[in-house]
Amino acid sequence: MNAATAPELAGALDQPFFQHAVLAGTAIAAACGLVGYFLVLRAQVFTSDALSHVAFTGAVAALAFGYDPRLGLFTATIAVALLLGALGHRGRTDDVAIGSVFSWILGLGVFFLALYTTSRSTADSRAGVSVLFGSIFGLSAARAQLAAVIAAGICLAMLLICRPLLFASLDEAVAAARGVPVRALGFGFLALVGACAAEATQAVGALLMLGLLAAPAGAAQRLTHRPYRALALSAGLAVAEMWSGLALSYAIPQLPPSSAVIAVATAVYAATFLVPISRKRERIDLAA
């Protein structure tokens, strides 16, 4: 295994492909951190797992019919996220509905993959691998800028609905009684989850994007029980893990960037189990 030397690693930011990866990766990671916090808080992590398979099916379907895979990604993930909300209660997803849709969507993905591989050339079939494992080092300047703008929009939307969504997530009945539009918030949040899943797929791939949504949020919630601090920490950890993973992949060229990012995120989450949580701090957090 060949690793980059220190001078080579220092020059990474001079490389256009690395600059594009950092631009898109930073915005996507921040969006994943914010969205992921509420996925964990609302016990909807299984939703993002299902959407990872939906992302694969949507992208492969678009490829099979000769369209840009991003069109299939966003259309499929947002539409299915809203469908799952409609099948659940007050805009929340239901595990039984997710399990049923999950299997059906995955079956469609296998069909579109077979259609795509039999109708396209061998060179084009590499695009299917990119959908599964991401290709953040292969982003052009235009694609990186577009991904960053969309991710920034997701971040802004999350910050706008953050307060009422937090209220609805912690005590849905009281929030509804006080006039908070719980059902509309649930659907709005699911639409953002779908868009975020499509964005994350471009960075780390459909198979690994669950880690970028769940691991930073899980680590943040283990480190602090204060909601807004955990929300900020989740976004910060996701960005730091993205940067670390990109640098690690650049230093070790044989290590794909998606694998490096998820490995760092998982290691950070595992490390939080070593951090003692004192009863005094728990009392302070619960009183906050």
pLDDT digits (tens, 9 = 90+) for 164-213: 999 999 888 888 888 889 989 999 999 999 999 888 887 778 777 788 88
Flag whether pLDDT at 281 surpasses 80: no
Flag whether pLDDT at 152 surpasses 70: yes
Hey, CA dihedral for 277, 229, 244, 73, is it positive or negative? positive
Phi/psi at 51 (5° precision): -70, -25
Residue spans of alpha helices (H) in the chain: 6-10, 16-41, 45-64, 69-87, 95-119, 126-133, 141-170, 172-177, 182-204, 209-223, 227-251, 257-271, 279-287
Inter-helix orientation angle 227-251/16-41, to 10°: 150
Q: What is the mean pLDDT of residues 232-251?
A: 94
Q: What is the mean pLDDT of residues 221-250?
A: 93
Rounded Cα–Cα distance for residues 167 and 122 (Å):
51
Burial of 90 (0-12, 13-18, 19+ CB in 10 A): middle
Flag whether pLDDT at 58 surpasses 70: yes
Q: What is the CA radius of gyration of the chain?
A: 19
Rounded Cα–Cα distance for residues 263 and 261 (Å):
5
Flag whether pLDDT at 284 surpasses 50: no
Q: Which pTM value belongs to this model?
A: 0.85
Closest CA to 183 of 86, 99, 97, 98: 86
Flag whether pLDDT at 282 surpasses 80: no
Hey, CA dihedral for 136, 137, 142, 148, is it positive or negative? positive
Residue spans of alpha helices (H) in 171-278: 172-177, 182-204, 209-223, 227-251, 257-271
Specify whether the CB–CB gap between 232 and 282 falls below 8 A: no
Average pLDDT, the chain: 84
Rounded Cα–Cα distance for residues 70 and 61 (Å):
11
3 state DSSP class of 115 = helix
Structure tokens at 209: 């994007």
